[in-house]
Amino acid sequence: MIRSAAVDRAGPLPAETAAGALGRDASSAVAPVVEVVGLGPGDADLVTAGTLRALHSGAPTFLRTRRHPAASVVPDGTVGFDDVYERADVIEAVYPAIVESLVAAALEHGRVVYAVPGSPVVAEHTVELLVADDRVRTVLHPALSFLDLTWIRLRVDPVELGVRLVDGHRFAERSVGQRGPLLVGQCDSNFVLSDIKLAFDDPPEWPVVLLQRLGLPDERIVEVAWEDLDRTIDADHLTSLWIPEVADGDGVGSGVVRFEALMADLRASDPWKAEQTHDSLKRFLLEESYEVLEAIDAYDPESGNGAEALTSELGDLLYQVVFHSALGAEAGWFELSDVVTAIHDKLVSRNDDLVRVTGGRPADAGVDGAVTVWEASKRTEQGRDSAFDGIPHALPALTRAMKVQRKAEALGLGVDADAALPDGPGDIAGDLATLSAAVAAAPGDVERVGALLEAVVDIARRGGVDAEDALRRRIDADELRYRSMEQPD
């Protein structure tokens, strides 16, 4: 068997083997320790000696799932987390819950051992979360992964071929523009295989290989045509996919890649495009945004009328994003892939915050609760002193008023249109109540609200008041009031 050495997130343990780390007094550690071991890719014959030693060291042991052929090697009394999977509404809630249990146990006992399928460093999100958690020190033991068996069964050298490993659950987003061979892991259901099949603009013409339960008596290695990818086997948690070649122009998201390449060529050959800057493109970005809004107004999702126009306008808006990304790439600061990664990671982070705040039940938060969590997340991400810092002052007054009021409502500050009204003739509060009742009588009546706004503009015009400036001044005052009401972090 293979003897293992332990490493933690800061690098190798100084002058320690795994055995040394395991025999150390927990009280001497800076933080409680979570030892993470891997059960290998197959049955008990592929479990390392170091893993067995850690599991039987006397420390409390935990197991991510008993759905693994080598789970029999864990000692009696090991706590499994399969019930966490069963209780969770969404898979994203499982991993934080497991980590919280492990951290709590480590804080109580000083050191615990956590066993995962395969290797701790291959496709193990709980381990990623543990490594990032400052409450514990995470010690990782090497172990065989399904990759080791895959290269042997396929008889390929992944280094020589430049193989890229991709998560099947994130195939579409992680494989954009990829070329050459791909190994797709986590193909744990036929739905995942179906999503992979549909992700290609132009699928490979040559066969691909499905690998299942490698290292076990019933392992399967099946060569299949692309169109049969999701109907050849019953995929399970020990299934992966080998795509031997992805040719130029055939890859996932190849249309976006071709668009990016075209933009680079046009910058080199078109004098007008070559002269543009981020500043010079601002007005075009604004114009295209308004044209998209017009196309949305004309689009009927029931009949599909206007879909072609909306598609065209969205393309024009995407062109602006790609153009700005090309400028960023030329300057050496960012490119289109960075833009995509930034929004992907932002959405994942905010969803993780929502899962954490709701205890794994995001649906229970409701729309208002979700918005509140997202606002707090945005404020933390951007290092803002106030949630209102992200609202551009140069926005049209009506748009800015909507944004300020939405922020205030999401923060629980309350939105009271007649608060701090100036003294003057007439019962303004009464007039507002009448208008509010009129709108409430026909919720969603865009024409009625539009007519009321138009009437207010007409009154302002007749009184010699610029309605845009008047609203801007009022929103300035409201924003100052809301800022004073915000709770400090």
> Quick one: 168 and 235 in the same domain?
yes
Which of 142-151, 173-182, 296-305, 462-471 is predicted with the least confidence, judged by mean pLDDT? 173-182
Are 186 and 111 part of one and the same domain? Answer: no
In the structure, what pLDDT confidence band is assigned to residue 280 with cuts at 50, 70 and 90?
A: very high
Examine residue 311 and state whether it is found in any structural domain, yes or no: yes
pLDDT for position 80: 95
CATH for 329: 1.10.287.1080
Confidence band, pLDDT 50/70/90 cuts, at residue 48: very high
Q: Are 22 and 67 in contact (CB under 8 A)?
A: no
Highest mean pLDDT among 134-148, 188-202, 262-276, 370-384: 134-148
15 — pLDDT class (breaks 50, 70, 90): very low
pLDDT, position 20: 38
Cβ pair 120, 130 in contact under 8 A: no
Which one has a higher pLDDT value, 178 or 276?
276
139 and 204 fall within a common domain: no
pLDDT tens figures, 316-328: 999 999 999 999 9
Residue 364, pLDDT score: 66
Based on the structure, what is the number of domains in the chain?
A: 4
Are 229 and 183 within one domain? yes
DSSP 142-168: ----HHHHHHHHHT--HHHHT-EEEEG
220 phi and psi, to 5 degrees?
-130, 135
The token pair at 307 is 């879909």
Domain CATH for 129: 3.40.1010.10
Is residue 92, in this structure, part of any structural domain at all? yes
360-402 tens-digit pLDDT? 666 666 766 676 666 666 666 555 667 677 677 777 777 777 7
Rounded to whole angstroms, the Cα distance separating 426 from 390 reads 36
Domain range holding 96?
7-144
In a domain, 39, yes or no: yes
Alpha carbon distance 382, 193 (integer Å): 37
pLDDT of residue 483: 81
Mean pLDDT computed over 109-135: 93
Provide the pLDDT confidence category of residue 212 given band limits of 50, 70 and 90.
very high
For residue 447, being part of any structural domain is answered with yes
Q: Is residue 27 a part of any domain in this protein?
A: yes
The average pLDDT across 318-342 equals 88
219 inside domain: yes
**Worst-scoring range by mean pLDDT, 227-231, 383-387, 477-481?**
383-387
Instruction: Let me know if residue 239 belongs to a domain.
Output: yes
Same-domain status, 123 and 156: no
- The yes-or-no verdict on residue 179 having pLDDT over 80 is no
What CATH number corresponds to the domain at position 180? 3.30.950.10
- Higher-confidence residue: 396 or 432? 396
Does the pLDDT value for residue 3 go beyond 50?
no
Residue 25 confidence (pLDDT): 43
Residues 228 and 270 in one domain: no
Instruction: Examine the domain organization and report whether 84 and 38 are in the same domain.
Output: yes
Task: Output the pLDDT for position 385.
Answer: 65
What is the average pLDDT value for the chain, to the nearest integer? Answer: 81
Q: What is the pLDDT of residue 184?
A: 94
Point out the domain boundary residue: 311, 334, 357. 334
Same domain for 162 and 206: yes
How much is the pLDDT for 128? Answer: 93
Q: How far apart are CA 191 and CA 184, in angstroms?
A: 14
- Domain boundary residue among 144, 166, 201? 144
What is residue 422's predicted lDDT score, i.e. its pLDDT?
A: 54
Same domain, 195 and 239: yes
The predicted model scores a pTM of 0.52
CA gyration radius for the chain?
A: 29
**Domain end: 316, 334, 352, which one?**
334
Q: Is pLDDT at 131 greater than 50 in this prediction? A: yes
Question: Are 31 and 119 in a shared domain?
Answer: yes
User: Phi, psi at residue 42, to the nearest 5°?
Assistant: -135, -135
Give the residue-averaged pLDDT of 237-256. Answer: 74
CA distances from residue 462 to 157, 276, 426, 448, 459 in whole angstroms, order as listed: 80, 43, 17, 21, 5
Considering only residues 415 and 207, tell me which one the structure prediction assigns the higher pLDDT: 207
Q: Is the pLDDT of residue 165 over 80?
A: yes
Is 50 exceeded by the pLDDT of residue 22? no
The answer to whether residue 234 sits within a structural domain is yes
Q: Express each pLDDT in 404-414 by its tens digit.
A: 777 777 777 76
Residue 151 has pLDDT above 90, yes or no: yes
Residue 222 has pLDDT above 50, yes or no: yes
Mean pLDDT over residues 26-47, rounded? 83
The two structure tokens encoding residue 265 = 């060529």
Same-domain pairing of 20 and 136: yes
Asked if 122 and 167 sit in the same domain, the reply is no
pLDDT, residue 34, reads: 97
| CB contact set of 183 (below 8 Å; sequence gap of 6+) | 147, 150, 158, 163, 164, 165, 166, 240, 241, 242, 243
Considering only CA atoms, which of 31, 9, 8 is closest in space to residue 20? 8
Lowest mean pLDDT among 31-40, 108-117, 133-142, 374-383: 374-383
Signed CA dihedral, 472, 477, 478, 483: sign only: positive
